[in-house]
Amino acid sequence: LRAGVDQCIQKFLDVARQTECFFLQKRLQLSVQKPEQVIKEDVSELRNELQRKEALIQKHLGKLRHWQQVLEDISVQHKKPAEMPQGPLAYLEQASANIPAPMKPT
C-alpha cells in the first residue's frame, strides 16, 4: 500500500513538473513573439501591487491616527487632575493662589 502511495505521489510530481515546463516554454515563445504582451502583464502586476500597498498604508495611517488620538485623550485626562490640587487643603491652596500678594510700603 505504501509503495503504491509513493508511486502515485512521484507520478503526480512528474506530471506537475512537465506541466510547469510546458507553460514556461509557452511563456518564452510568447515573450519572443509578442514582447509587449509580457511588458503589459508586468505593468499590470506592478499596478496591482502598488494599489494593494497603498491600501495597506492607508489602513496603517488610520490605525496610527486612532492611537494618536487615544494617547492625546489620555494626556489630556492626566493634565486635568494636575491642574486642580487634591487633598484636604486643596480648596485653601486654590483660594490662596487667587489672593494678591501684599504691597510693600514705599
pLDDT digits (tens, 9 = 90+) for 28-38: 998 899 989 88
Structural domain including 19 reads 1-76
For residue 90, is it within any domain?
no
pLDDT at 57: 98
pLDDT digits (tens, 9 = 90+) for 38-86: 899 999 999 999 999 999 999 999 999 999 999 999 888 877 655 555 6
Per-residue confidence band for 94, with pLDDT thresholds at 50, 70 and 90: low
For residue 32, is it within any domain?
yes
For residue 106, is it within any domain?
no
Which residue shows C-alpha cell 494593494?
52
For residue 97, is it within any domain?
no
For residue 105, is it within any domain?
no
For residue 29, is it within any domain?
yes
This prediction's pTM = 0.49
pLDDT at 63: 96
pLDDT digits (tens, 9 = 90+) for 5-25: 999 999 999 999 999 999 999
For residue 89, is it within any domain?
no
For residue 26, is it within any domain?
yes
Q: Cα 83 vs. chain centroid, distance in angstroms?
A: 37
pLDDT at 81: 54
